[in-house]
Structures are given as structure tokens and as C-alpha cells.
Amino acid sequence: MKRTLLLSAFALVAGFTSAAEPPAGFTALFNKKDLTGWRGGSTFDHRKLLEMPEAERKAQIEKWTAKMMEVSDKTGKPHWYVEGDELVNDGFGDYATTEKDYGDFELLVEYKTVPKADSGIYLRGVPQVQIWDSTESDEKAVQLGKPKGSGGLWNNAAGNPGKDPLVKADKAFGEWNKFRIVMVGSRVSIWLNDQLVVDHAILENYYDKAKPKGNTPPPAPRPVPAKGPIQLQTHGGEIRWKNIFIREIGAEEANKILSSKGGEGFKSVWNGKDFDGWAGPLENYEVVDGAIRCKDKKGGTVYWNQDLKDFAARVEFKVPAGGNNGLAIRYPGQGDTAYVGMTELQVLDNDAEKYAKLDARQFHGSAYGMVAAQRGYTRPAGEWNFQEVTVKGSTIKVELNGTVILDADLSKVDPSTVMGSKPDAPKAHPGLNRTNGFFGFAGHSDPVSFKDVQVKSL
């Protein structure tokens, strides 16, 4: 999709430089009076902060906040202070951090900085949208990428999408720059001064850069948290901020944003009316509001009746409280796809109390009984989720609501460890090495719904 089309996929907000009030739908994070709603923070894994006992967490935040607001010997002012309608930082002290955590959002913010300054914006507590002096051109500056401009996801790995801005869009010193940042799942799009500089790139988790130990492969890195604070970084040079507005993005809009990107080559395989082109125990399923829904107390695997090798599939799904279903991958047309197919990718209400003690390989997105997916990225029961699955050779990648929760090579799974109905009961998996089969839905007696089903052969 062309970048110009991406702009139309979002609600555009223009000319907010002189805004006295938040645009429609937005909330002001900075009240132009004081730091109400902000606390101190640092480059610290937000997940670890949340895991601390309450008293320890409170003490840590108080320590950061005290350092954030300590008075500078040079200026006689706190490191962070309000001047007119501007939030000013002298380049030192801990970071201004929102007290509230955010999931999917659209953030508007303006900044003005000075020569040789270096700063950034942390998203969900993860570094960072880069801000720096793009006029620097010495050898070190070139190595860091400063001449390429601000706005990139600088802590992404070299060469990965988002690492460097698509264009240099910085304004001259003394002028205000404005960011528009849209984050859905781990995917981030950034406009700097109305120019697209990051296009739907995954923000890599700075805190989980896996490092190999000896000859042991590194563990799969965990994605960025589903929620976390906005942080304004300090890095040695004065920076001024104003018109800091945020709008939280709901599930329906998030799904539209995700479906608007990367859809080239996908073909709709569900007409929203009947089961034309599908096979299996269709009598156990029904069409409700344009969606395929497994009938309550019924089940079995229904599938699009086209044999597939390597493919990608996109689907929206909704689970009721305690709901259970699955995506059939390279299913042969009969039998239990979790074993006779290449795999079943679990579709589950992860938050249901009755599933609290499941094996990790049984939660949503997992290659059932073989490889566990990351948890914490499903939406509440009753909301629509957006999922994309890519199957190439023996590898499977699952991206849920904009976050990659599984990226596994099933050829590396020890068949003797594949679990059966119970974690301690291994079961033969004759379909593990299948190279072709059908894509469908494996019902397990719960009214789980699927819509907007699309498939692309690779």
C-alpha cells in the first residue's frame, strides 16, 4: 500500500502547532501549569517495575521523581519546569513519565531543542523515537545515523524497518517540530512535521535483546509490553515540549489500521453469507452477522477447500468467556488437526479462570502442545482480535493485534515432547512434517466467531 493511502487509514490531525485545547478525541497530557499526571522514570523495563511488591515499586518511583525534580546548581531551577505553555527540561534529571499506562494510541507532541542535543520519546516505556541534532556530520555522528534525521526507532537492530527514518524531516534550530505517532500492538507509524518517517514498523524490545550463551541458540525475544507509559527522555541538552495530546485507540479502529497494511496478494476466502468453497462438518457451524461461528456444544474442523503449501492467512476472531477453538494448519481433511495436521494454532480466552493451570503450550497462538506463544496480547473476551499467520516450510509466525507472539521452526521440536491431552502424556504427531494441507477452524464446543478470512499463497 502506498504511503499516501496509509494516511487516509487514520484520522488525520493537522495544524496542531497553535492548539490551545486538545483536538477532538484527544486528552492533554501536559496541562501547561504543572507536572500533574507525570512521575519520574528511567530506562527501566516496565514489566519488572510492575512485578515489584507495591512498597518497593512506590519507593522506586519516588526516587526517580525526586531526581527528575531536583534543582540544578547551574540554573537554580528544577530539571523539569513549566515556562508559559511549555514544559522545559535542561537536559538532565530522570525522565518525565506518564503516571498512566497506555496500550494502542495516537500521540501528538511538539518539541524544540538546541544544537548537539539528544533526546527521545519512549513508547510503553520502551526506547525510543529518536530526537537529535541532524546537522552533526562528524565521523561518530555519521556512525550513529544523526544526518539521517530524527524520528526513527533508533534501538531497532541495524537494517531493520524503522531503525532509520524514511526521510529527513527535521526543522532548523529555533523552530518547533511536531510528531504524530500511532502505535497499535508493537507496530509504530511516525510522522515528523507531516512527513512519514516510520511506516508501520515493529518497535523491538530494548530490554529483551537475546544474547546467545556458548553454542546455545538465544531465546526468542519477548515483544514490547501491551501497555506502558509515555516517557520524555533527557540526554544532556535543553529540550522544550508543548501540545502533548493522546488519544486511545479501540479494538475496532486498531483492526482497521492493521488490516490496511501489507494486504497485497491476500484473497478473501469467506463470503460472509454461506459456506461456499468450504468443507468439513459444516452443519456444526452457522453464519452470524457475516461471521463463521461454531455452534454451542458442537465442533469439528471446517476448512477452505483449497490445498495449500506455504501461505499467509489473516482473520479476525472473537471468543466468548472461556472460549476455545483453533486454526488448522496444513490439515489433511480428517482427524485431529493438532496431530494429523502440521499443527493447530490455539484460539483461546487466555484470561478464563478455568484455563489458569494449562501448560504454556496450550495458550492462545501456541503451536498446540509444541511451542508456547507469548501471553498478554489477546483482547478481552467478546472483542474482535486481528491475527495474521505466516507458514513457510517448517516455520510458523503468528502476529496477534500487531504483536508477534510466536515465531517458531517446528522442525526443531523433539517429537517425543509433543504433549497429548495432558502435559505429561506425550503423543505421536504424524502430521508434524506435512508440507501441504488445508486452512480452517478447529471447533471445540464453544461459539467462537471468525470473519474477514483472507489467504495468500507464498
Cell 454461506: give the residue.
274
Asked if residues 69 and 81 have their Cβ atoms less than 8 Å apart, the reply is: no
Rounded Cα–Cα distance for residues 423 and 411 (Å): 20
CB atoms within 10 A of CB 263: 13
Distant-in-sequence contacts of 137-140, Cβ < 8 A, 24+ apart: none
Cell of 179: 510528531
Task: List the pLDDT tens digit at each of the 458 positions of the chain.
Answer: 333 334 334 444 444 444 568 999 999 999 999 999 999 999 999 999 999 999 999 999 999 999 999 999 888 999 999 999 999 999 999 999 999 999 999 999 999 999 888 899 999 999 999 999 888 888 888 888 889 999 999 999 999 999 999 999 999 988 999 999 999 999 999 999 999 999 999 999 999 875 555 555 555 668 999 999 999 999 888 999 999 999 999 999 999 999 999 999 999 999 999 999 999 999 999 999 999 999 999 999 999 999 999 999 999 999 999 999 999 999 999 999 999 999 999 999 999 999 999 999 999 999 999 999 999 999 999 999 999 999 999 999 999 999 999 999 999 988 888 887 666 666 788 899 999 999 999 999 999 999 999 999 99
- Residue 83 CB partners (closer than 8 Å, separation 6+): 240
CA 301 vs CA 98, 235, 326: distances in Å: 46, 56, 9
Nearest alpha carbon to residue 134 among 105, 82, 175, 84: 175
C-alpha cell at 287: 453464519
| pLDDT given at position 211 | 56
Q: What is the H or E stretch that residue 253 is in?
A: helix 251-259
Residue 15 Rama label (left phi>0; alpha psi -120 to 50; beta): left
- pLDDT at position 152 is 97
Cβ(290)–Cβ(451) below 8 Å: yes
SS3 378: coil
3-state secondary structure of 139: helix
The answer, yes or no, to whether the previous bond of 374 is cis (omega within 30 of 0) is no
Output the pLDDT for position 14.
44
Rounded distance, CA 54 to CA 425, Å? 39
CA distance 427 to 312: 28
**All cell numbers assigned to 316:** 479476525
Domains in the chain, ordered, with CATH? 3-257 (2.60.120.560), 264-457 (2.60.120.560)
Neighbour-count burial for 379-399, b at 16+ CB within 10 Å, e otherwise = beeeebbbbbbbbeebebebb
Whether the CB-CB separation of 281 and 302 falls below 8 Å is answered with yes
